[in-house]
């Protein structure tokens, strides 16, 4: 876990880098010191080798000079010539002592010893170094090393001439520890004289080393392992080989560098220590502002934008902190804007549905704790859709803003809330009022909206419908209160009351309607609806060429459900589009079936206002015609007058496209709406249907007969057929024939019938009227 910290990792990296650098420096410098020590030792050995060679050369010259003095002495030559052994021996001894020679010998021309001061050799024995004698004979003098017994000697030989050579004088210095120590003191090295046998084994003749260290001289590899630099000088010798070993202890050679190494080690350790402290401080200086930025980020993540991060550095960390502060300001500004968008209606500036629900939830909690009432009001504008469609959406938006302004002004307390829930729907929260107080406010709001509203010179007239609920009488849950206020608002709208209080009976009706809607969906999905067909009789020919398809619902448990019970509800919920499509499919399929049976009947189907403004309606009918193979002329579409006037422009555009397909068009319930003749002349319709209310009232109200007559004349003048609905008596039928109405339908002629019963009715109708041209049915 320690290494998971950025501070620890930074410190570790710094320490490791410094440690590597210091270690590398120590290793390099120490290597240089060792190399210098080895080089110094090698230099010392080279110098010592030259010094040793000079010393040996000096000894050789000293011996040669002393031997020459003896050889040139007249008395000595005479003694040699006369074979005076005593005189020869005495002369050799005297001259040897004079130069401190350890051995003095006289050798005859046959290579035999004449005299030997060492006492090792005996007169008459062969001289052990004949090569030395031959070299003297050749060069005049010679020097060599050789073993006499167990000791080694440095020997020189000179001739004794009278004037020819009659003998040779040999002198030598013994190679002993004293000489080795003398050599060591002169060269500052350990000096040892060694012999080498034929098998390569070394033997120690003399050495400056103490006795316990001499045994190691026999193993040269061991010397190197023990830390010695060595140099072996092979001496000119005869017989067993003689060599000189020069040694230099590397430990001694390194001694002058030990302080430097110690100082270097101390510097390395101090460097590592300083690097640790420095890295910790550096890591702290880096990570402290990062930690501050991390803490700042956590605050930002928790929605705390109050204080900026305080970092005064002017480096990259400072720039990062400045960027974080700019980010904080940007996020705070955007969150403020998002909050406004999330909780405020952008058009009116009122609280939106989310904020209203939040305040209502808090108000319900406060009312529960404080045991006091509260009221909720739902309001919907009347005639707003007409304003929006007629004057355009910009005028509609300005109207909503003016309504919001007036509703805000109608509130008297800051604790009250008016909100726009969407479209032309508003809500009011009165957190401390009861129903009487809500009634007063509702009346004040309606009066505020009754005041004339002028937008861009256009006088706009709107009203409102308000539903009112109270806590806790009408519910203790927010969602229940909102739903019941909505129910009360629709009661006010349907009853044209302005405002209405919630009543449980309203909710029961709503539950019944909701259940009916669910069952209606199942009826369509399970094909439980049926189509009945009501014939239209041609009053001129008495023939039946047209029928109107009417949907019927025979509920499995409710029994027969009248169309006026479920069609308006389906129109309000938008499910009418599914029903209309089902009716069109079944009606066109039935038309095709009749054609296959030889029955020539054109079928009329009704289309709702929602279907009429749907741009895909022509494509839907075209696909159904293609599906069942029916000619477009066999299908009539009936549209109510009010459906056309809901959105005339879209309606006329859709009617034009349907007419282009060849489908016939009829205006149903003509005379009950407020259609304009300017729109009527633009519509590609083929037929007008007089509403049955006028037909039924012809004999009771003279105005109704006037409307029927005027509608027939209007339709004929515009080249349209006219159909009268609701013909229930023979008198009505005869009167319509007198007024030159084209077609009639009603219970007097036939009720709506299922396809099989309609086919039987047609057979009876044709049989009864074969001999009657213009008479009505029997």
Give the Cα separation of 543 and 765 in Å (integer). 9
- In this predicted structure, the answer to whether residue 419 has a pLDDT above a threshold of 90 is yes
Tell me the percentage of the chain whose pLDDT exceeds 90. Answer: 30
C-beta separation of 184 from 208 below 8 A? yes
- Pairing type for strands 453-455 and 458-460 reads antiparallel
> How far, in whole angstroms, is CA 384 from its chain's centroid?
48
Residue 739 has pLDDT above 90, yes or no: yes
Binned at pLDDT 50, 70 and 90, residue 223 comes out as low
- Among 526-540, 560-574, 690-704, 722-736, which stretch is predicted with the lowest mean pLDDT? 560-574
For residue 359, pLDDT over 70 is answered with: yes
Over residues 143-178, the pLDDT tens digits come to: 888 888 778 888 888 898 888 888 888 888 888 888
Residue 234 DSSP label: E
φ/ψ of 344, rounded to 5, equals -125, 145
Structure tokens at 207: 């050495």
Tell me what the mean pLDDT of segment 236-250 comes to. Answer: 81
Residue 626, pLDDT above cutoff 70: yes
* pLDDT tops 90 at residue 675: no
- Give the DSSP per-residue string, 132-164: HHHHHHHHS-EEEEEEETTEEEEEEEEEEESSS
pLDDT at position 687, please? Answer: 93
Provide the phi-psi class of 200: left if phi over 0, else alpha when psi is between -120 and 50, else beta: left
Residue 36 reports pLDDT greater than 50: yes
Residue 204 near residue 192, CB atoms below 8 Å: yes
The pairs formed by 153-158 with CB atoms below 8 angstroms and a separation of 24 or more are 153/102, 153/103, 154/56, 154/59, 154/60, 154/63, 155/63, 155/103, 155/129, 156/60, 156/63, 156/64, 156/67, 157/67, 157/107, 157/132, 157/133, 158/64, 158/67, 158/68, 158/71
- Pair 161, 71: CB distance under 8 Å: yes
DSSP secondary structure code for residue 604 in this structure: E
Q: How confident is the model at residue 369 (pLDDT cuts 50, 70, 90)?
A: very high
Among candidates 410, 411, 424, 416, which has minimal Cα distance to 359? 416
pLDDT band at 773 (very low <50, low <70, confident <90, very high): very low
**Please, what is the average pLDDT of the chain?**
83
pLDDT band of residue 777 (cuts 50, 70, 90) is: very low
Pick the range with the lowest mean pLDDT from 231-245, 568-582, 753-767: 568-582
Distance, in Å, from the CA atom of 406 to the CA atom of 379, rounded to the nearest integer, reads 13
What pLDDT shows up at residue 545?
Answer: 94
Q: Could you give phi then psi for residue 428, rounded to 5 degrees?
A: -130, 135
Mean predicted confidence (pLDDT) in 10-18: 75
DSSP state of 183: H
Segment 460-479, tens digit of pLDDT: 888 899 999 999 999 889 99
Per mean pLDDT, which range of 235-239, 378-382, 719-723 is the poorest? Answer: 235-239
pTM, two decimals, is 0.45
Q: Which residue has the higher pLDDT, 80 or 200?
A: 80
Q: pLDDT by residue (tens digit) across 700-727?
A: 888 889 999 999 999 999 999 999 999 9
* DSSP string for 2-57: GGGSHHHHHHHHHHHHHHHHHHHHHHHHHHHHHHHHHHHHHHHHHHHHHHHHHHHH
- Greatest alpha-carbon span in the chain: 205
Point out the least confidently predicted range of 54-68, 298-312, 626-640, 710-724: 298-312
Q: Are strands 237-238 and 142-148 parallel, antiparallel or unpaired?
A: parallel
Tally the C-alpha atoms within 13 A of residue 228's C-alpha that lie toward its C-beta: 20
Residue 639 CA to residue 241 CA, distance in Å, equals 141
CA distance 403 to 384: 11
Question: Which tens digits make up the pLDDT trace of 567-594?
Answer: 877 776 677 888 889 999 999 999 999 9
Place of tokens 């077609």: 743
Burial, 185: exposed, middle or buried (Cβ in 10 Å; 0-12, 13-18, 19+)?
exposed
Query: Which of 161, 148, 163, 174 shows the shortest CA–CA distance to 63?
Result: 174
Per the CB < 8 A criterion, the answer to whether 267 and 83 are in contact is no
CA dihedral 147, 151, 152, 154 (to 10 degrees): -110
Pair of tokens at residue 129: 């170094």
User: Of 90, 111, 240, 104, which is closest to residue 172 (Cα–Cα)?
Assistant: 104
DSSP letters, 672-686, are SS---HHHHHHS---
Q: What is the pLDDT of residue 31?
A: 80
Kindly tell me if the per-residue pLDDT of 544 is higher than 90: yes
Q: Which two tokens stand for residue 567?
A: 């069609």
Closest to 193 measured CA to CA, from 295, 52, 74, 294: 52
Residue 325: CB atoms within 10 A of its CB come to 16
Weakest mean pLDDT among 218-227, 339-348, 389-398: 218-227
State the pLDDT at residue 1: 46
Separation between Cα atoms, residue 43 and residue 219, nearest integer Å: 23
Task: Please indicate whether residue 140 or residue 600 has the higher confidence score (pLDDT).
Answer: 600
Instruction: Determine the Cα–Cα distance for residues 81 and 75; give it in Å rounded to an integer.
Output: 10
CA neighbor of 230 nearest in space, from 249, 206, 215 = 249
Contact 536, 546 (CB under 8 A): yes
Q: Is 729 helix (H, G, I), strand (E, B) or coil?
A: coil
Contact 439, 447 (CB under 8 A): no
- Would you call 558 helix, strand, or coil by DSSP? coil
- 750: confidence class by pLDDT, cuts 50, 70, 90: very high
pLDDT, greater one: 611 or 697:
697
pLDDT at 402: 93
What does DSSP assign to residue 483?
Answer: H
Query: Of residues 222 and 281, which shows the higher confidence score?
Result: 281
579 token code pair: 């029903």
Q: How many CB atoms lie within 10 A of CB 292?
A: 16
Q: How far apart are CA 112 and CA 90, in angstroms?
A: 19
DSSP classification of residue 127: P
Residue 190 backbone zone (phi > 0: left; psi -120 to 50: alpha; other: beta): beta
DSSP structural state of residue 456 = T
State residue 585's pLDDT score. 94
Q: How far is CA 91 from CA 95, 158, 174, 756, in A?
A: 6, 15, 20, 177
Is residue 591 within a helix (H) or strand (E), and if so which, with residue range? helix 576-597
pLDDT exceeds 90 at position 652: no
Give me 30's structure tokens: 């120490």
Which of 91-105, 327-341, 549-563, 581-595 is the least confident region?
A: 327-341
Q: How far is CA 8 from CA 14, 311, 374, 580, 765, in A?
A: 10, 22, 62, 76, 105
């Amino acid at each position: 876990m320690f290494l998971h910290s950025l501070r620890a990792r930074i410190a570790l990296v710094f320490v490791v880098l410094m440690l590597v650098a210091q270690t590398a420096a120590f290793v390099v410098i120490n290597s240089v010191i060792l190399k210098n020590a080895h080089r110094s030792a090698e230099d010392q050995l080279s110098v010592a080798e030259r010094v040793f060679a000079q010393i040996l050369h000096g000894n050789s010259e000293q011996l040669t000079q002393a031997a020459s003095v003896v050889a040139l002495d007249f008395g000595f030559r005479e003694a040699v010539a006369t074979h005076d052994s005593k005189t020869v021996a005495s002369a050799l001894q005297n001259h040897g002592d004079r130069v401190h020679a350890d051995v003095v010998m006289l050798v005859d021309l046959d290579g035999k010893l004449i005299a030997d001061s060492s006492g090792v050799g005996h007169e008459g024995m062969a001289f052990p170094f004949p090569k030395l004698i031959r070299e003297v004979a050749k060069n005049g003098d010679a020097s060599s090393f050789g073993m006499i017994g167990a000791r080694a000697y440095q020997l020189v030989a000179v001739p004794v001439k009278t004037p020819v050579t009659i003998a040779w004088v040999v002198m030598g210095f013994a190679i002993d520890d004293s000489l080795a120590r003398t050599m060591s003191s002169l060269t500052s090295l350990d000096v040892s004289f060694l012999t080498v046998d034929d098998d390569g084994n070394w033997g120690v003749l003399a050495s400056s080393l103490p006795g316990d260290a001499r045994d190691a001289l026999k193993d040269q590899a061991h010397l190197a392992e023990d830390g010695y630099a060595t140099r072996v000088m092979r001496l000119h010798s005869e017989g067993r080989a003689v060599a000189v070993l020069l040694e230099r202890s590397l430990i001694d050679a390194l001694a002058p560098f030990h302080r430097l190494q110690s100082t270097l080690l101390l510097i390395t350790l101090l460097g590592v220590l300083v690097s640790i402290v420095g890295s910790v401080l550096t890591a702290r200086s880096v990570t402290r502002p990062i930690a501050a930025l991390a803490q700042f980020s956590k605050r930002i993540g928790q929605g705390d934008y109050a204080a900026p991060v305080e970092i005064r550095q002017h480096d990259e960390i400072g720039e990062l902190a400045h960027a974080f502060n700019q980010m904080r300001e940007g996020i705070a500004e955007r969150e403020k804007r998002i909050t406004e968008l999330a909780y405020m209606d952008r058009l009116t500036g009122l609280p939106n549905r989310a904020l209203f629900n939040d305040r209502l939830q808090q108000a319900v909690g406060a009312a529960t704790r404080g045991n006091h009432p509260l009221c909720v009001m739902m309001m919907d504008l009347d005639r707003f859709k007409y304003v929006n469609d007629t004057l355009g959406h910009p005028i509609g938006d300005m109207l909503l803003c003016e309504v919001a302004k007036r509703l805000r002004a109608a509130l008297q307390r800051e604790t009250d809330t008016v909100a726009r829930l969407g479209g032309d729907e508003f809500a009011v929260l009165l957190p401390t009022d009861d129903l009487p107080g809500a009634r007063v406010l509702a009346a004040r709001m309606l009066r505020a909206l009754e005041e004339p509203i002028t937008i861009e010179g256009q006088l706009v007239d709107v009203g409102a419908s308000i539903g009112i609920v109270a806590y806790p009488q009408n519910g203790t849950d927010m969602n229940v209160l909102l739903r019941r206020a909505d129910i009360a608002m629709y009661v006010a709208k349907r009853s044209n009351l302005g405002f209405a209080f919630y009543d449980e009976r309203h909710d029961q009706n709503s539950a019944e309607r909701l259940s009916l809607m669910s069952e209606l969906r199942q009826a369509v999905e399970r094909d439980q609806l049926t189509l009945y067909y009501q014939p239209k009789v041609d009053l001129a020919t008495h023939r039946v060429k047209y029928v109107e398809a009417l949907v019927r619902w025979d509920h499995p448990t409710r029994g027969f459900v009248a169309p006026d019970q479920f069609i308006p509800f389906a129109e309000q919920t938008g499910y009418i589009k599914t029903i209309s499509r089902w009716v069109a499919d079944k009606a066109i399929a039935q038309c095709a079936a009749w054609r296959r049976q030889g029955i020539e009947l054109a079928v009329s189907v009704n289309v709702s206002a929602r279907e009429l403004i749907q741009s895909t309606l022509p494509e839907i009918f075209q696909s159904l015609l293609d599906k069942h193979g029916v000619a477009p002329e066999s299908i009539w579409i009936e549209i109510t007058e009010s459906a056309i006037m809901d959105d005339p422009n879209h309606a006329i555009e859709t009617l034009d496209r349907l007419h282009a397909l060849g489908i016939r068009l009829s205006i149903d319930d003509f005379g009950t709406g407020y259609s304009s003749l300017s729109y009527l002349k633009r519509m590609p319709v083929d037929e007008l249907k007089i509403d049955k209310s006028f037909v039924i009232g012809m004999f009771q109200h003279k105005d109704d007969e006037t409307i029927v007559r005027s509608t027939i004349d209007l339709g004929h003048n515009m080249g349209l057929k006219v159909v009268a609905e609701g013909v229930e008596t023979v008198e009505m039928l005869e009167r319509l024939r007198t007024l030159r109405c084209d077609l009639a339908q009603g219970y007097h002629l036939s009720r709506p019938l299922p396809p099989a019963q309609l086919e039987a009715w047609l057979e009876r109708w044709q049989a009864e009227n074969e001999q009657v041209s213009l008479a009505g049915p029997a």
